[in-house]
Structure 1
Amino acid sequence: MADAVWIIVALLGAFVLSFVQAPAIAWLVGIAIWLAAGFALHLIGLTALIVLAVVFALPALILAIRPLRRTLISARLLPTFRKIMPKMSETEQAAIDAGTVWWDAELFAGKPDWQRLLKTPAPSLTAEEQSFLDNECEELCNLASDWDATSIWQDLPPAAWAYAKDKGFLGMIIPKRYGGREFSAYMHSMVVQKLSTRSSAAAVSVMVPNSLGPAELLLHYGTEEQKNHYLPRLARGEDIPCFALTNPYAGSDAASITDTGIVCMGDYQGRRTLGFRVTWRKRYITLAPVATVLGLAFRAEDPDGLLGAKREIGITCALIPRDHPGVVIGRRHWPLNAVFQNGPTQGDDVFIPVDFVIGGQSQIGGGWRMLMECLAAGRAISLPSSNVGMAKLAVNGVSAYSAIRRQFNLEIGKFEGVVEPLGRMGGHLYAMDATRRLSANAIDIGEKPSVISAIAKYHVTERGRIVVNDGMDIIGGKGICMGPGNFLARAYQQVPIGITVEGANIMTRTLIIFGQGAIRCHPYVLKLMKAARNEDRKAGLVSFDENFFGHVSFVFRNIARALAFGLTGGRFIAAPSNAAGALATYYRTATRLSTVLALLADMSMASLGGALKKKESITGRLGDILSQLFILTATLKRFEEEGRQKDDLPFVHWAAQDAIGRAYEALEGVLANYPSRPAAAFVRLVAFPFGIPLVKPSDRLAAKIAIALQTQGATRARLIDGSWTPTLEVDQIGAGMVAFTLYPQVQAIEARLKDAIRNRQILRMPQNLTRLAAWAADAQGKGLITAEEQALLAKFAELGDMAVQVDDFPSDFGLAENLQKFQQGVHTPDTREAAE
């Protein structure tokens, strides 16, 4: 019995030391105490003591004495590690080195520091920013009619373009010393979001100059001369920028662009100067048709050695005026009926002086690093914000429509078949907006979140697609017929654009999120890779030794933690003490999943090695686990930041449970398809001995969300905060929103008349709103309602009817009428098109 206890103590001790990732010296002390106790209690003799000391204590001693460990073990391992370590190209290295890691590293490392997240200041706007959002941004929304933009101008209307330039929308990120607005990343996000609830043309036209483009690159890398020339012009809207990166043969693989610039001498403005002969073919370049300055990425080559001995210099970024000889620009693409300016550009053997290179001659060849470092910020703002805006547009309009539209004498928003997608829309929107807020805030606190920005871009656009599709299903026939009264069709058409651009979502999911995360976010992998490449052999050995054995102890720590959490169901995991009590289980689940992700990542890198990046189904699902953890924690952080609003809990629970369920689903997909079946079985046994849980938001939660969406109040207002609110004075799509504000009074009148209806003093309130005014007049004539109530019902009938009607047009869509107007001298885009 004593022998068994002694052995159990050894196993428990090893487990605890692994769990806390104890240093080697702690293992040595523990083994020594264990052996001494066994000898003192006569559980082992002298011979057994010596044997056990050699087997356990001696290795622990070698590991604890670092100089000895480096000499005997690490010095022998390092050459082998250097041989098996996969080679990394310069472009891959630049992508890995770009940006920073923040909360994503905590989630990836298996033991998130919740206080680090919860103590991060909540995003906020200055008084100046709030005023701009409430006034200038509101006015631009009023000018940017989506229907006019798409059906008349095929562009942002001229008045909206002029206003955007004049009020500094194109220079939001430019410092005030250059004439810009110098807004925060969060404010940039809020502007793009609000414009997206009104017009994609307005949102895209504003977001592109403020994200990845000339202004961003100039601020970080431009020469003083370049900054002083271009930034004031960009801030005032005198110059409109675009950035040309995508090549027909290098889409998502942008590092492989074939556009080339040959270093040479040439003539520019009457003088002989060093420069490039550049040939390019670019496509999908947003704002290119109207741009006055072209940012261009090309591969620089120096066959004659004018810059040095290196023939292939690398990707280089330059700024080229639109009117520069040889620049071909102006034609347009037509992306799924979206009308923002987008098109190709090309040039053949165009000479540009070296001064056109962003940053001057010293930055030749540094373009890929520039792009990777700046892309993180833009990707964390532009598409997440625009897709949250479209989701708010959908939720706002569809929930209002569901509340006032009746079928079978019941509001359609009360049908369970409608409640389910409505609840899904609200839950997804809460999570999407939480992700947008946290991603933008990361930039404002000094991060350049390359992995987080990829997570936000991919998952917010994918959830945006779900929200808009659900909205289209609910409004039915009204949604599929184009016209000025259709608030959702353009968003439906444009959702795939966000999924495609700034890195196609398939590539973002399968290559970037886990591919970068596994190296950048891991506490040891990147350090080991750098140690192996360190030319200082002594320093490299010291670093390799420290990080290799740190990595080993990290793996054993995660095995022990996964086993402990698996056996207990994670019930005893510490949640942050200041977190809302009702949500503590989500913090515990996030910690448990983080530990399993860390274990799976190490197992995948060890068992698959360099082949892992080709196993895209595996890396995609591993990336999904990391992404859902980020979305879950963003949801919890938002709830804390907004003051723990009790009425918001259904949204929080739905979003949290959805993220957890998706993470478990991805985890099941990894293990079910894992190439090494023994490894998959080991993880199942250790981390989930009782099976992987099935977690899904309940129908009850969806019903609570659907009710909240159809009820005017603070909860609904918080969810759609930052949206443009349509008014009848500006656009007829405001009819539905105004009718929605009147509907509670209509319901109150109907409820008060129940007895009169039952006693047949008056008929039931008509479902057909065209008959409601007559019904109200009858009720008022019988003294059942007041004149004021009759007027209210008549107004609701008029507006509600406008909201449910579907747009229709002349059989020739007005072609004959417009042609007649043109012939009478009325020259508008419509009449000119008819004449053509």
Structure 2
Amino acid sequence: MSVIFTIIGILIVCALCAYHRLSAGYTALSAFIAILFLGELLGHYPLVWLLWATISLFLAYPPVRQKCLTERIFTLYKTVTPEMSRTEQEAIAAGTVWWDGELFSGKPRWEKLHDVTPPKLTTEEADFLNGPVEQVCTMVDEWQINHKDADLSPEIWQFLKENKFFAMIIAKEFGGLAFSAYAQSRVLQKLSGVSAVLSTTVGVPNSLGPGELLQHYGTKAQQDYYLPRLVSGAEIPCFALTGPEAGSDAGSIPDFGTICMGEWDGEQVLGMRLTFDKRYITLAPVATVIGLAFKLYDPEHLLSDTEELGITCALLPSTTPGLDIGNRHFPLNVPFQNGPIRGSDIFVPLDYIIGGPDMAGKGWRMLMECLSVGRCITLPSCAAGGAKSIALATGAYARIRRQFKMPIAKMEGIEEMLARIGGHAYMMDAVTTLSTAAVDLGEKPSVISAICKYHLTENMRTVMNDAMDVHGGKGIMLGPNNYLGRGYQGVPISITVEGANILTRNMMIFGQGAMRCHPYVLAELKAAALPNKQDALIAFDKAIFGHIGFALSNFVASKWFSFTRGYLGHSPFNDETKRYYQQINGYSANLAFLSDIAMGVLGGSLKRRERLSARLGDILSHLYLASATLKRYADQGRNKDDLPLLIWSMQHALSEIDYAIAEFIRNFPNPVVRFFLKLTLQPFGIWNKKANDKVEHAIAHILQAPNPTRTRLGEGQFIAETTGNLLGELEATLKLVQKAEPIHAHICQALGERRPFTCLDALADEALTAGIIDEDEATLLRTTEKGRLKTINVDDFAPDELVIR
């Protein structure tokens, strides 16, 4: 019995060492001390000593370990590890690891997150938002743009050029605005609230495209020529990557160029013959300079000893002979400029390559690094801005619209939808703020950008669906007074572009996350690739045993978390958010542990088990979304009025994590491992549930009347109460309704009957005649009725108005 107690004591000591991530040497020393103590207490047991001495020798003395153990593991590792293509290697190498790495660590350092200064606009950036951005929003007529012209007006195009909307990312030395990522995000949020065509038109040149690529990789001659012209609007850029045979799998583009001699401006020069077929290219129909991605070959070795150079990026003026900019695409009734670009056997000089001949074959790395930044900003910001405007509009409409003699906002079915809309909008804005802050710190967060792109566009789809359900007929009848319909039609566009969401969730988030964020996986891969066998063995030994210690630590932490639910865990704050921090710590350990189990048991086949890797990606994603939400709450002064929004967002994220873990375990192919994981992580089942009815009622109450929390939720959106701005008119009517309701109640009480909140103009006349109200109150009721009717009514048309001629 004493032997058993001794072994149990040693295991407890080892578990504590693993939990605190002590090195193998310190673990061996701690166990040695434990044996001494237990031996004195319970008796000496030579067998235990001998066993531990042998194990310690292997664990704590690298030369012995490498010879007897690591060498065999290394050989096995090289046989089971799948080879990565060049494009996969470049995608993994691109970008940087930031807070996503902390979430993958099993022990996130919260001080690192909260030490990040909340981003702020400079005076110049704030003036731009309050000046040109506000002004261009007043110029928007959505019905004219979408239904009649299928384009922005010439006045808007000119205004955008004159005010450098296409130059937010371009450095000041070239005349650009050089705005921060946060400022770009705020601009796009405001624009997306009034027009998807406008926000797309502005967003694309400021994301992945010629401007971004030229600044990072262009030659001085290219920069000096093109960047000032892009700033002034003399050049309109587009970037052509996607084609009929290569959509989400952009690395398989069939478009090619062959290095050869050819005639250019009457002289024989070294150049390329390009053949390509691109589609879905935003701004292509109006572009004057085309960024083009293609595979470059050098069969005659005129430039390099390598025949297949790889993906290359070049700039082609739209006037290039043989270049065919085709007709326009028509993306789901949201007519931003988009179309195909084609060319067959076009000859251009080598200096058309972005960065010149030295950058031949380096295009994929260029694209991956720039895309990791652009995906953090453009689509997530447009989604967040849309969600914020929709939250304000839907809350206002639900308060104004009456059924069964009460505002529909008071119906519990509507409250549920308003809560989802408000909760998602709160979280989405938090995510864009944190992610753009990372970019402004110099990060290129490739994994975070994939999380942002997928989850914010998907959440926008949820928000839009709920808003349409609340609005009912008001939402589905298109016309000059419909502020939802075109957005509802266009939501799938954001789901599809810049990497389809199916691909992003199932392959990219965890696929890149496991390689980039895990502290040891990439080190193991790099060690295996070292040419010198001894160097490789030493590096691999350090990585693999660090990995083993990491896995053991996360196993212990996960097991502890499953029994304590994190109640004894660390939190940077001792308030209403404490439990959320504690749970994220535990789920972080769960993620790291599950990832190691999946990679260890399934090996290379994990790449093909997309649903399993997608669930691991969901855990990482919701950990990031929850972290961003907590960061927002802290940065905004921990205002308790915002608690319902925080609670809803956190409960949503944590319940999604619980569900993802449960589904991962349930679908794991090995039954023994499946049982082990269930026993380790969820022995008592799922703990976290969605927010309760009380929280959702509080959010619905926030959205349906002006208040500071609602103002913070919609901060930065275009809601100016001017004629023609539908959201501004809606806000103005909401305020009128709020003022009119007490007057209406007073009239009903005086008349001794409950009247519906309709025909307020007639009721005003009746009450004024009866001396119940004064003229000012009657005028308020009449104005309110006018605004109320405009809010609930929909457009109709003569038959010939809808015929396209």
Distance 2:732 2:95 in 1: 46
For 1:706, the equivalent position in structure 2 comes to: 700
Identify unmatched segments of 5+ residues in structure 1. Answer: 816-832
The 1:704–1:713 alpha-carbon spacing in structure 2 relative to 1, beyond 3 Å, is same
**Conserved 8 A contact 1:146-1:200:** no
Which of 797, 800, 809 is matched with 2:785 structurally? Answer: 797
**What is the deviation of 1:292?**
0.4
Give, in angstroms, the shift of residue 34 of structure 1.
3.6
Indicate the residue corresponding to 2:410 in structure 1. Answer: 414
The residue type paired with residue 233 of structure 1 is R
* 1:767 matches 2:757: yes
Structure 1 letter corresponding to 2:597:
M
The residue number in structure 2 matching 1:9 is: 9
Post-superposition Cα deviations, 1:451-493, rounded to whole Å, max 9, x if no partner, equal: 0000000000001001010000011011111100001001100
String of CA shifts for 1:792-833, please: whole Å, max 9, x gaps. 111111111111111001121166xxxxxxxxxxxxxxxxx7
Mapping of residues 496-535 of structure 1, within 5 Å = 496-535=492-531
| Residues 507, 613 of structure 2: 8 Å contact kept | yes
CA distance in 1, matches of 2:473, 2:121: 40
Establish whether residue 86 from structure 1 lines up as the match of residue 76 from structure 2: no
- Structure 2: distance between partners of 1:32 and 1:89: 47
Listed one character per residue, the Cα deviations across residues 592-643 of structure 1 (whole Å, up to 9, x for unaligned) are 1111111100000011111001001101111111111111111100101111
For the 8 Å contact 1:765–1:772, the answer to whether it is kept is no
Task: For 2:736 and 2:31, locate their aligned partners in 1 and report how far apart those are by CA, in whole Å.
Answer: 76
Displacement after TM superposition at 1:2 (Å): 4.9
Partner of 1:266: 262
CA distance in 2, matches of 1:92, 1:417: 46
What letter matches 1:794 in structure 2?
Answer: R
Q: Is the 8 A contact 1:276 1:353 kept in 2?
A: yes
Match of 1:776 in 2: 764
Deviates more, 1:60-69 or 1:292-301: 60-69
The one-letter code of the counterpart of 1:25 is G
Corresponding residue for residue 596 of structure 1: 590
- Contact 2:100–2:517 at 8 Å: present in 1 too? yes
Higher mean displacement: 79-88 or 142-151: 79-88
Which residue identity is paired with 2:581? Y
Residue 766 (structure 1) shift: 4.1
Q: Which of 711, 714, 724 lines up with 1:717 in the alignment?
A: 711
Map of 1:710-749 to 2, 5 A cutoff? 710-731=704-725, 734-749=728-743
* Percent of paired sites with the same residue: 45
The Cα shift of 1:54 comes to 3.1
1:636 to 2:626 alignment: no
Q: 1:385 maps to what in 2?
A: 381
| Structure 1 CA distance for aligned equivalents of residues 727 and 527 of structure 2 | 61
Paired residues of 1:735 and 1:800 also in contact (CA < 8 A): no
Other-structure match for 1:208:
204
Task: Please state if 1:107 is matched with 2:103.
Answer: yes
1:294 partnered with 2:309: no
**1:750 maps to what in 2?**
744
Match of 2:548 among 538, 552, 556: 552
Partners of 1:814 and 1:766 in 2: how far apart? 36
Pairing of 1:610-649 with structure 2 (within 5 A):
610-649=604-643
Secondary structure of 1:418's aligned partner: helix
SS at 2:772's partner residue? coil
**Distance (Å, rounded) in 2 between the aligned partners of 1:419 and 1:133:** 33
What letter corresponds to residue 221 of structure 1 in structure 2? Y
**3-state SS of the aligned residue for 2:332?**
helix
Give the secondary-structure state (helix, strand or coil) at the position aligned to 2:800: coil
Deviation of 1:108 after TM superposition, in Å, equals: 1.1
Q: Which whole-Å deviations, capped at 9, do the CAs of 1:372-407 have from their partners, x for residues lacking one?
A: 010000011111111112212221211111111111
- Structure 2, unpaired ranges of 5+: none
Aligned counterparts of 1:117 and 1:40: Cα–Cα separation in 2: 47
2: CA distance between counterparts of 1:467 and 1:191? 21
Partner of 1:313: 309
Partners in 1 of 2:322 and 2:287 — Cα distance? 15
Where does 1:687-702 land on structure 2 (aligned, <5 Å)?
687-702=681-696
CA gap of 1:268–1:588, structure 2 versus 1, over 3 A, is same
- Distance in 2 (CA, whole Å) between partners of 1:194 and 1:728 is 16
In the aligned structure 2, how far is the partner of 1:352 from the partner of 1:776? 75
SS in 1 for 2:577: helix
Judged with a 3 Å threshold, the aligned counterparts in structure 2 of structure 1 residues 350 and 580 are, in CA distance, closer, same or farther, namely: farther
The 8 Å contact of residues 514 and 619 in structure 1, kept in 2 or not, is answered as yes
Q: Aligned partners of 1:134 and 1:241: how far apart in 2? A: 26
Alignment of 1:139-158 (within 5 A): 139-158=135-154
The yes-or-no answer on 1:685 pairing with 2:679 is yes
Contact 2:276 2:343 (8 Å CA) reproduced: yes
Looking at structure 2, the residues matched to 396 and 28 of structure 1 have their Cα atoms a distance apart, in angstroms, of 60
Aligned pair partner of 1:193 in 189, 192, 197: 189
AA paired with 1:672? R
Cross-structure match for 1:405? 401
RMSD value, Cα: 1.5
Alignment match, 2:474: 478
1:609 to 599, 603, 610: 603
Q: C-alpha separation between the residues in 1 aligned to 2:223 and 2:68?
A: 56
Give the 3-state SS of the residue equivalent to 2:280 in structure 1. strand
SS at match of 1:125: coil
- Give the distance between the partners of 2:670 and 2:802, measured in 1 at CA: 65
Match of residue 225 from structure 1: 221
Are 1:394 and 1:468, in contact at CA under 8 Å, matched by a contact in 2?
yes
- Distance (whole Å) between structure 2 residues aligned to residue 794 and residue 522 of structure 1: 64
Deviation at 1:39, TM superposition (A): 4.7
Give the match's secondary structure for 1:317: strand
Q: Deviations over 1:403-433 (max 9, x none)?
A: 1111121111111121111111101111111
Aligned partner of 1:676 among 661, 670, 673: 670
Whichever residue aligns with residue 561 of structure 2, its letter is F
Q: C-alpha distance in 2, partners of 1:814/1:220?
A: 48
Match of 1:181 among 174, 177, 180: 177
The equivalent of 1:826 in structure 2 is none
Q: Which amino acid aligns with 1:237?
A: G
CA contact (8 A) 1:260 1:299 kept: yes
Deviation (angstroms), 1:694: 4.1
Match of 2:320, SS state, is coil
Partner Cα separation in structure 1 for residue 625 and residue 345 of structure 2: 47
Deviations 1:151-202 (Å, cap 9, x if unpaired)? 1210112111110110000000001110100000011111111100000111
Inter-partner Cα distance in structure 2 for 1:221 and 1:381:
20
Tell me, in whole angstroms, the C-alpha distance in 2 between the residues paired with 1:668 and 1:357. Answer: 49
CA distance in 2, matches of 1:640, 1:366: 42
Matched, 1:785 2:773: yes
Q: CA deviation at 1:680?
A: 1.8
Residue-pair matches, total: 805
Kept in 2: contact 1:213–1:243 (CA 8 A): yes
- CA apart distance, 1:733: 5.7
Aligned to 2:798: 810
What SS does the corresponding residue of 1:16 show, helix, strand or coil?
A: helix
The 2-side partners of 1:482 and 1:77 are apart by 65
Displacement of 1:330: 4.1
Taking a change above 3 Å as real, the CA distance of residues 363 and 797 of structure 1, as seen in their structure-2 partners, is same
CA positional deviation for 1:229: 0.5
C-alpha separation in 2, matches of 1:95 and 1:280: 23
Greater shift, 428-437 or 1-10, is seen at 1-10
For 2:119 and 2:676, the matched residues in 1 are separated by 43
Partners of 2:728 and 2:122 lie apart in 1 by 29
Aligned mates of 1:667, 1:142 — CA distance in 2: 48
CA contact 2:719–2:725 (8 Å) conserved in 1: no
**Counterpart Cα distance in 2 of 1:814 and 1:337:** 14
The DSSP-based 3-state class of the residue aligned with 2:293 is strand
Aligned to 1:120: 116
Residue 536 of structure 1: how far off its partner (Å) = 3.4
Per the TM alignment, residue 3 of structure 1 is displaced from its structure 2 partner at its CA by 4.8
